Amino acid sequence: LDPENWMQSGSGPRYVRLRRRIEEGIAEGTFPAGAPLPPEREIATLTGLSRVTVRKAIQELAEKGVIVQRQGSGSFVTGPDDRRVEQSLSRLTSFTDDMARRGMESTATWLERGIFFPSPEEVVALALSSGDSVARLSRLRLADGRPMAIERASLPLEILPDPKSVGRSLYEVLERTGKHPVRAIQKISAINLGPEEARLLGLQPNDAGLKIERMSYLKDGRAAEFTRSTYRGDAYNFVAELRLAS
- Cα of first residue to Cα of last residue in the chain, in angstroms, is 57
Residue with Cβ nearer ligand 16G (78 or 96): 96
Closest approach, Cβ 157 to ligand 16G, in A, equals 16
134 lies in the site for ligand 16G, by CB under 6 A: no
Rounded CA gap, 66 and 71, in Å?
A: 17
Residue with Cβ nearer ligand 16G (75 or 227): 227
154 lies in the site for ligand 16G, by CB under 6 A: no
Of 67, 95, 209, 235, the residue at the interface with ligand 16G (CB under 6 A) is 95
234: exposed, middle or buried (Cβ count in 10 Å: 0-12, 13-18, 19+): middle
Single out the segment in contact with ligand 16G by CB under 6 A; choices: 42-50, 167-175, 201-209, 236-244. 167-175
Of 22, 150, 203, 212, the residue at the interface with ligand 16G (CB under 6 A) is 212
Rounded CA gap, 78 and 32, in Å?
A: 9
Strand ranges of the sheet holding 134-143, from the earlier edge strand across to the other edge = 106-116, 134-143, 146-156, 223-232, 208-217, 183-192
169 lies in the site for ligand 16G, by CB under 6 A: yes
Of 47, 53, 78, 96, the residue at the interface with ligand 16G (CB under 6 A) is 96
138 lies in the site for ligand 16G, by CB under 6 A: no
170 lies in the site for ligand 16G, by CB under 6 A: yes
**What is the per-residue DSSP string for 14-54?**
HHHHHHHHHHHHHHHTSS-TTPBPPPHHHHHHHHT--HHHH
Residue with Cβ nearer ligand 16G (53 or 230): 230
